Structure 1
Amino acid sequence: MDDDALLRHSRHVLLEEYGIDGQMRVGAGHVLVIGAGGLGSPVCLYLAAAGVGRITLVDDDLVDLTNLQRQIAHTTARVGQAKVTSAAEAMRAINPDIAIATHALRADAAMLATLVAAADVVVDCSDNFATRHAVNRACVAHAKPLVAGAAIRFDGQLSVYDTRDEASPCYACVFPADADFEETRCAVLGAFGPVVGTIGTLQASEALKLLAGISPSMAGRLLMFDGRATQFDSLRLARDPECPVCAAHRAGRWSKTAR
């Protein structure tokens, strides 16, 4: 770490739990961010500011005027641009020393298999269950920690799914793919900008803690935020031993370890 980098990140280095070693780990880390919208905006900006060495962004959408009330990585001048291009521009303006890869595509299973395998931490900022489950399957298959957030109207939620820990559930343990969840979009119900920003900021926090080696993470807990009451609640989560996504992978990893 040169003098400029040490000065840039000095307020993190001063933290006893973080220090130079933590900053070095963050600088060597690779984070995959799925979604560069409301949640992805603060995630991208804080990861860039913190000096994460490599950040890969995936989003197939374009910046729209209706995004700007909450998607703070984008600007009026960049309406019509690919969100990943716009977000990367904002990130480089904060920190030109990081490496950013962009994919203006919708994440599918083949792409995720490659990108997740190369990442240290995956942050899911998508807005639909199909993508969330696809991201979870790839994270389980490659044993990568997943920081997942969601926000709609005045409500948000956050958790870390880390199947490297035998006690930690995966996303499908908590939200089974065959469950009858009502999928709602902010284009229909709306989204309070600061709530989206709150959850995205907490996702960035969890991702940085995982990279820097700061514990505990949110694994095994679901954090829920009520933006109207300005109140947080948390639930303990248990893994499903019969989960169709993670049970077989856990058994396979356990048998290899046992050998």
Structure 2
Amino acid sequence: MLEEVKRVILVLSGKGGVGKSTVSTQLALTLKEHGFKVGLLDIDLCGPSVPYLLNLENQSVHQGPEGWIPVYLDSDQKLGVMSIGFLLSSRNDAVVWRGPKKTSMIKQFLEDVCWQELDFLVIDTPPGTSDEHITVMENLRQVPQCSAIIVTTPQEVAIEDVRKEITFCRKTGIPIMGIVENMSGYECPVCSECTNIFSSGGGKSLAEIAKIPFLGSLPIDPRVGKLAGQGVAAVKEIPNSNTSKVFSELVKHLTDSSVNGK
């Protein structure tokens, strides 16, 4: 149920393996650290990694009078999470479903989860522009404040796929908040020097060509990698890292645009 959700943020990419789930979880954790009440919805039905990233595996969801009750990361219930991973008996279970069944499950996630009042709902999506995305877009038309963050990596092959995602957003009427370039070089945890492993600047160039904001570059940082599976925000554990700075700026951008009604 989305009636009490003030703002929805879709995390999208046309390419798999670019780090959408990491961006989604760290964005949700950063918003929580800033005092907001946040929901995180994982609709990557075939690769639900959010429960692992937040150290919530082996948790289960329950039915309440008003729908499914999300799993909460904290006792204050500032961050609620819903994922098909909570409905599987093992992380090794495969979801072998055709499109209509996927569509039905996503509609349930969007309509039947009792989020209560939320400042932000972050939705982690699968790669591509398929049935799952169309279902999400159709169900989000009722939400006045909805926008997309598009995640890419610097390589040309990822940039080409992300172009399609931009086109998809424009055709379906979802405002694009901007582009985040992930895995943008390797940042040494000792000296903080950043070395470009793949290439650099692809996300920024695409943002300029598409005339949408560029929201920042996230380096490969081993310290961030170690946070996977702990459910801890980078802004709390490694506040001086470039990753933390980018996520703090993202939250500032989100809160400023919320105030301005964009």
Normalising by the smaller structure, the TM-score range is: 0.3 to 0.5
Q: What TM-score do the two structures reach when normalised by structure 2? A: 0.39
Q: What TM-score do the two structures reach when normalised by structure 1? A: 0.40
Greater RCO (Cα-Cα under 8 Å, separation 6 or more) = 2
